[in-house]
Structure 1
Amino acid sequence: MKIYTKTGDAGETGLWGGQRVSKDALRVHAYGTADECNAAIGVARASGLEAGLDELLGQVQSQLFVVGADLATPGEGGANIPRVGPAEIGFLEAQIDSLESEMEPLKQFILPGGTPAAAHLHLARTICRRAERWAVSLAHEDAISPDVLMYLNRLSDFLFVASRAANARASTPDVPWVSPRLG
């Protein structure tokens, strides 16, 4: 099977179910940005993480693949397409709670940084927020699962906590933000 199909050469792409849309359609932005977030998580994993956190992020990557498929499937089409739901949202919430229990509570704002993996997880968090914004815009124009919006919202929180956990497990402090007004 060839990787190139030439079907997108005129600036359109196919959604699950066969519908063709412009490559700059809101739906394509939403699932494309979810894919970008997934790739950023992959970079974080390749940057070196403690084994337990790496395994957890692998599970999240698989869930994000489902988010992308969900967003790429308009309406009720694709009966065989997996969809994110309460179980995946609950999984993220449980992981956030578990990771937070390992760390000291935050007492100030932090900057993205510390270990390379933590910095990459902060980047993935910001990409996740962009995916969420695109999904919200899409929801104003077309029906999408409200579970997708909840998942992306929880995922950005999870990625923030995971970045802190990556630093903590590497015995590297978070980078505190210092207000210019205090100097």
Structure 2
Amino acid sequence: MKIYTKHGDSGETSLFGGQRVAKHFERIEAYGSVDELNAILGELLSLSDLPANVETMCAQLQADLFVLGADLATPEAASDVAKAKVTRITANDIETIESWIDSLDQELPELKTFILPGGCASGAKLHVARTVCRRAERAAVKCHQSDPLNPSCIAYLNRLSDFFFVAARYVNHVADAPETPWRPA
């Protein structure tokens, strides 16, 4: 398969199902942010201070983010044949993330104040992932207002950013990297 097609040289791309849209289209922004998030997870997985359990979770998330990207790239107006070819984000995917959050959170001290992003390398990178995930969520919500998405996509992104926050705290806790509380000026 050729990497370049030249079909996007005029500033348009195709959604799954064939519809041509501008590259600044809200749906493209949403799944582009998901792609960026996946790249951040790839970088995270290259770090040596990532605990094995979180590494396993993040590796699974990378695969799930491809599903999410395909789901976001498939409009409701796509043919039934096209939609049938795409795996969709479901409530089960969200429940998996919730179980991971609960599992990691039970190992952590109670959070009593806002904390600043940082800590060890993996903890800091998980905070970056959280913020990119929030951007993807905002883009998905904006898209959904005019071009309906699978509602599970938005819930998934919302829960995923919570996971990244808890995972950052967990990784820093395991590494004995202190959390820096936010102190108003």
What TM-score do the two structures reach when normalised by structure 2? 0.94
**Gapped runs of 5+ residues in structure 1?**
none
Where does residue 55 of structure 1 map in the other structure?
56
- The reply to whether residue 171 of structure 1 matches residue 172 of structure 2 is no
- Counterpart-to-counterpart distance in 2, 1:122 and 1:147: 23
* Secondary structure, aligned partner of 2:106: helix
Aligned alpha-carbon RMSD (Å)? 1.1
Quote the residue 1:136 is aligned against: 141
Is 1:97 the equivalent of 2:102? yes
Per-residue Cα deviation, 1:126-153 (whole angstroms, up to 9, x for no partner)? 1111111110111111111110010000
Deviations 1:26-75 (A, max 9, x none): 00001001111111122222123011111111111111111111000111
Count of residues in Structure 1 that have an aligned counterpart in Structure 2: 180
Among 118, 124, 138, the alignment partner of 2:123 is 118
1:66 to 2:67 alignment:
yes
Query: In 2, distance between residues paired with 1:109 and 1:62?
Result: 31
Distance 2:179 2:60 in 1: 25
1: CA distance, partners of 2:174 / 2:60: 19
- Runs of 4+ aligned structure 1 residues displaced above 3 Å come to none
- Residue 177 (structure 1) shift: 1.5
Equivalent of 2:160, from 147, 155, 158?
Answer: 155
C-alpha contact (below 8 Å) 1:44/1:118 kept by paired residues? no
- Percentage of matched positions with identical amino acids: 51
- Distance in 1 (CA, whole Å) between partners of 2:27 and 2:178 is 39
Structure 1 position 18 matched with structure 2 position 18: yes
Partner residue, 1:44: 44
Q: Is the 8 A contact 1:135 1:149 kept in 2?
A: yes
Q: Which runs of 5+ in 2 are unaligned?
A: none
Paired residue for 1:33?
Answer: 33
Alpha-carbon shift at residue 78 of structure 1 (Å): 2.3
In structure 2, C-alpha distance between the alignment counterparts of 1:99 and 1:42, rounded to whole Å: 21
When normalised by structure 1's length, the TM-score is 0.95
